Amino acid sequence: MNLLLAWPGNETLAQSLGLALSVPVESPVTRRFPDGEAYLRAGEVRGRDVAIVASLDRPDEKTLPLLFLADALRAEGAASVGLIAPYLAYLRQDRQFLRGEAVTSRTFARLLSGAFQWLVTVDPHLHRYHSLGEIYSIETAVVHAAPEIAAWIKANVESPLVIGPDSESEQWVSEIAGAIGAPFATLEKTRRGDRDVEVTIPRIERWPGHTPVLADDIVSTGRTMVAAIGRLAELKRLAPVCIGVHAIFAQDAWQALMAAKPARIATCNTIEHPTNAIDLTAALAAGIRKLV
Ligand code: R5P
């Protein structure tokens, strides 16, 4: 791969990836016509292996322009076009829960697989799929944030107790906790609606005095973390450090989380956000090198 294109909003990560991979970074021309249609212009790419760095939070506004750009790059003679999407959207609807529902994960995977030759992402939110290969027909590489999260906790939190968002996260939080010799627990979560979450935190009385570290793969509405912070306060525990891999922070999520008064919020730089503190550049560069 010998050219990185930074999708708007992804310039910081694209630049650090460019440095790590010794690849130049450019920005495609993107704008909107007054009626909302997208305008895209590829640069000089003939014979070059190109990758676009585009995290796919807020995917509906990005996907169509991204497909247009991939098409323009191919038309201009790019030798290959890859996608570095540190956050990969549309994985939650992985089956029909009600008759007639769109299984958006499959359609989205088909669209991206038709436009790109390869895809690198970080900790995709796979639930019923075992791997991206079940729905993506292109080469994919998955980068795991756990080692960098563990290193960050070790450097920044005294006597941590790592707490995952639900029982399904047990393997993930145990990996983080195991890497730094810390204990771990998982929340028991009941979600009654998008913003209505109730949690309990079983068995944490075994670790009095530890600093709770809430670690989640996605912070979307932030309500899982807000509920956990409330529960920890009821249990008279220290205010937790909140760690998220993907800082989506939908609508008022960041304000709601700040209002709950965690000790600190730290996210990985898969989505550009003021809370980014855990740098995945090296891990992503290694994942990209595996494919190209
Ligand atoms: C659940 O499967 C995830 O690990 C997160 O706990 C969830 O997506 C967080 O969502 P929210 O921030 O909306 O509570």
End-to-end, the C-alpha distance of the chain in Å comes to 6
Q: Which amino acid is at 77?
A: G
Distance (Å) from CA 135 to ligand 1 centroid: 22
pLDDT per residue as tens digits for the range 80-128:
999 999 999 999 999 999 999 999 999 999 999 999 999 999 999 999 9
User: Can you read off the two tokens belonging to residue 261?
Assistant: 């008064």
Three-state DSSP class for residue 172: helix
Element (H, E) at 185: strand 184-186
Distance CA 217, CA 7 (A): 23
Sole residue written with tokens 């609508």: 251
Burial 67-89 (b: 16+ CB within 10 A, else e): bbbbebbbeeebeebbbbbbbbb
Atom of ligand 1 at shortest range from CA of 217: 4
Sole residue written with tokens 């030798």: 79
Atom of ligand 1 at shortest range from CA of 197: 14
Distance (Å) from CA 206 to ligand 1 centroid: 26
pLDDT score of 82: 98
- pTM, full prediction: 0.97
Distance (Å) from CA 213 to ligand 1 centroid: 15
- Atom 3 of ligand 1 has which residue's CA nearest to it? 218
Cβ neighbours of 291 (radius 10 Å): 17
pLDDT score of 85: 98
State the Cα angle at 201 between 196 and 207, rounded to 5°: 150
- Are 216 and 243 spatial neighbours (Cβ–Cβ below 8 Å)? yes
pLDDT per residue as tens digits for the range 45-74:
999 999 999 999 999 999 999 999 999 999
Q: Which residues of the chain have pLDDT under 50?
A: none
Mutational pocket test of ligand 1: of 218, 254, 270, 273, the residue with most ligand atoms within 8 Å of the beta carbon: 218
Strands 118-122 and 80-84: parallel
Residues in contact with ligand 1 by the CB-under-6-Å rule are 165, 197, 216-224
Element (H, E) at 254: helix 253-259
- Atom 6 of ligand 1 has which residue's CA nearest to it? 165
Of 118, 145, 158, whose CA–CA distance to 283 is shortest? Answer: 145
pLDDT score of 169: 94
- Are 40 and 30 spatial neighbours (Cβ–Cβ below 8 Å)? yes
Catalytic residue, candidates 154, 189, 236, 261: 189
Q: Is 236 a catalytic residue?
A: no
Cβ within 8 Å of residue 34, ≥6 positions away: none
Cβ neighbours of 171 (radius 10 Å): 9
Mutational pocket test of ligand 1: of 220, 252, 273, 275, the residue with most ligand atoms within 8 Å of the beta carbon: 220
Sole residue written with tokens 């499959």: 106
What are the φ and ψ backbone dihedral angles of 168, each rounded to 5 degrees? Answer: -65, -20
Residues, the chain: 292
Distance (Å) from CA 79 to ligand 1 centroid: 39
pLDDT score of 221: 97
Distance (Å) from CA 215 to ligand 1 centroid: 10
Distance CA 261, CA 240 (A): 9
Element (H, E) at 66: helix 59-75
Q: What is the dihedral of CA 190, 125, 184, 182, to 10 degrees?
A: -160
Q: Judging by beta carbons within 10 Å of its beta carbon (0-12, 13-18, 19+), is residue 279 exposed, middle or buried?
A: middle
